[in-house]
């Protein structure tokens, strides 16, 4: 149930709590991720007409043929990113590729101290930046840029998370991982899988996690 006061949507804690309970039954265990998902008002990141469905386990359109990912996949990817790798290094600085409406960036901001997020579609970038500011989230730097080549100027990152699927794992992005860092990303065209790439002193290790469905990673800006 949504109540709107002065144009600011408020969703009852019960609706959010139901989402958290569902995430638990879907296997999400990381309490910090669950707390962040409870905190971030997901309904503010979608069009008002869709806000009553904001906490359902669905992806929703955010215009420009893009979607906000379903809560489960946001939680799952961040949980994988946070799990300490072989080197046991805490994840501090994270890069997200594909800001979209800024929802995942907001969740990331609750669990990591320093977040960079890149978006190639200008109106989405503008709106996400404003929404994060309205929520007084100050530890996310949003960039209007093609994220295919990552953000070498701010590398290395302890974590990289991609919200759009590339046909293969990019070497340029892997190289921007710190030793002990991890990257979680959808890979493939029609058939897509979530991959985890871990970097240690010896090199990279890849694991295939589960089937997923993401919008494609596109080149250039618009
Ligand atoms: N994390 C987002 C999900 C957005 S969908 C959220 O919480 O809403 C994926 C986004 O990736 C889209 O907004 C799309 O424009 C963006 N994207 C696709 N290719 C990109 C690229 N090369 N660089 C930056 N962003 C890209």
The model's pLDDT over 125-171, given as tens digits with 9 standing for 90+, comes to 999 999 999 999 999 999 999 999 999 999 999 999 999 999 999 99
Residue 201 lies in a domain: yes
Residue 53 lies in a domain: no
Domain count, the chain: 1
Residue 190 lies in a domain: yes
Residue 3 lies in a domain: no
69 has catalytic annotation: yes
* pTM for the model: 0.94
Residue 147 lies in a domain: yes
Closest CA to 144 of 183, 181, 118: 118
- What's the gap in Å between 164 CA and the centre of ligand 1? 6
pLDDT band for position 4 (50/70/90)? very low
Residue 136: is it exposed, middle or buried by C-beta count within 10 angstroms (0-12/13-18/19+)? exposed
What integer pLDDT is reported at residue 86 of this predicted model?
Answer: 45
pLDDT band for position 29 (50/70/90)? very high
Range of the domain at 158: 58-212
pLDDT digits (tens, 9 = 90+) for 182-194: 999 999 999 999 9
Residue 35 lies in a domain: no
pLDDT digits (tens, 9 = 90+) for 70-92: 999 999 999 999 986 445 567 89
What integer pLDDT is reported at residue 64 of this predicted model?
Answer: 93
Per annotation, catalytic residue among 51, 59, 69, 170: 69
> For atom 19 of ligand 1, which residue has the closest CA?
217
DSSP per-residue codes, 108-164: HHHH-SEEEEEESSHHHHHHHHHHHHHTT--SEEEEES-GGG--GGG--EEEEEESS
Residue 136 lies in a domain: yes
* 9: pLDDT strictly greater than 80: no
Q: What is the mean pLDDT of the chain?
A: 92
Atom number of ligand 1 nearest to Cα 128: 8
Does residue 111's CB lie within 6 angstroms of at least one atom of ligand 1? no
Does residue 117's CB lie within 6 angstroms of at least one atom of ligand 1? no
What integer pLDDT is reported at residue 88 of this predicted model?
Answer: 58
CATH number at residue 176: 3.40.50.150
Residue 117 lies in a domain: yes
What integer pLDDT is reported at residue 137 of this predicted model?
Answer: 98
Q: Out of 120, 125, 142, 143, give the residue to mutate to test ligand 1, the one with the largest number of ligand atoms within 8 Å of its CB.
A: 120
- What's the gap in Å between 205 CA and the centre of ligand 1? 25
């Amino acid at each position: 149930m949504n109540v709107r006061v002065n144009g600011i949507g408020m969703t009852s804690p019960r609706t959010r709590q139901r989402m958290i309970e569902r995430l638990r039954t879907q296997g999400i265990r990381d309490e910090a991720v669950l707390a962040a998902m409870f905190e971030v008002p997901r309904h503010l990141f979608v069009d008002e007409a869709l806000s009553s469905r904001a906490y359902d386990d669905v992806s929703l359109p955010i215009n420009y043929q893009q979607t906000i990912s379903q809560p489960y996949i946001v939680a799952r990817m961040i949980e994988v990113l946070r799990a300490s790798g072989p080197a046991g290094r805490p994840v501090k600085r994270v890069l997200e590729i594909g800001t979209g409406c800024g929802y995942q960036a907001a969740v990331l901001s609750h669990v990591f101290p320093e977040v960079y997020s890149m978006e190639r579609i200008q109106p989405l970038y503008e709106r996400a930046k404003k929404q994060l500011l309205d929520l007084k989230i100050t530890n996310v730097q949003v960039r209007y840029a093609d994220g295919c080549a990552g953000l070498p100027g701010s590398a290395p990152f302890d974590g990289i998370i991609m919200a759009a699927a590339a046909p293969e794992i990019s070497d340029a992005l892997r190289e921007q991982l710190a030793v002990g860092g991890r990257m979680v990303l959808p890979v493939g065209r029609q058939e897509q899988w979530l991959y985890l790439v871990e970097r240690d002193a010896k090199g990279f290790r890849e694991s295939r996690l589960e089937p997923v469905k993401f919008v494609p990673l596109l080149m250039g800006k618009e």
